[in-house]
Structure 1
Amino acid sequence: MMQQIYPVTPHSYAYELNKDFHFSAAHYIPQDQAGKCQQMHGHTYFTNITVVGDELDETGFLVNFKQIKDLIHKRFDHGVINHDSAFSDEQAIDFPTTEVVSRKIYEIIQDYLDGLQNKPKCIQVYLRETPTSYCIYRPRGEKST
Structure 2
Amino acid sequence: MGIIRITKQFNFETGHALYGYDGKCRNVHGHSYKLSVTVIGRPITDTSHVKLGMVIDFGDLKKIVKEEIVDQFDHATVFNKNTPHVELAKELTDRGHNVILADYQPTSENMVIDFAKRIRARLPENISLHSLRLQETDTSFAEWYASDNQ
Report the TM-score, using the length of structure 2 for normalisation.
0.70
Kindly indicate whether residue 78 of structure 2 is the aligned counterpart of residue 81 of structure 1.
yes
Matched residues in 1 for 2:115 and 2:11: separation? 13
Name the residue aligned to 1:52.
40
Matches of 2:133 and 2:142 in 1, distance apart?
A: 6
The gaps in structure 2 that reach 5 residues or longer are 80-98
Distance 1:141 1:127, change over 3 A: closer
What is the correspondence of 1:5-44 to structure 2 with a 5 Å cutoff?
A: 14-33=3-22, 35-44=23-32
2:119 is matched with which residue? 109
8 Å contact from structure 2 (residues 13, 32) kept in 1: yes
In structure 1, C-alpha distance between the alignment counterparts of 2:149 and 2:73, rounded to whole Å: 28
Compute the displacement of 1:54 (Å): 2.6
Task: Determine the structure 2 residue equivalent to 1:123.
Answer: 130
**Aligned-partner residue type, residue 84 of structure 1:** I
Q: Give 1:141 deviation, angstroms.
A: 5.1
Structure 2 residue aligned with 1:69, among 58, 62, 65? 65
Q: Which has the larger radius of gyration?
A: 2
CA distance in 2, matches of 1:110, 1:65: 11
Indicate the residue corresponding to 1:99 in structure 2.
109
Would you say how many aligned residue pairs link Structure 1 and Structure 2?
120
Runs of 4+ in 1 over 3 A off after TM superposition: 55-59
* Counterparts in 2 of 1:120 and 1:38: CA distance versus 1, 3 Å: same
SS of the residue 1:84 aligns to: strand
The letter for the 1-side match of 2:136 is E
Higher strand content, 1 or 2: 2
Structure 1 alignment gaps of length 5 or more: 1-12, 89-93
**C-alpha RMSD of the superposition:** 2.2
**Rounded Cα–Cα distance in structure 1 between residues aligned with 2:139 and 2:149:** 29
The percent of aligned pairs where both chains have the same amino acid is: 26
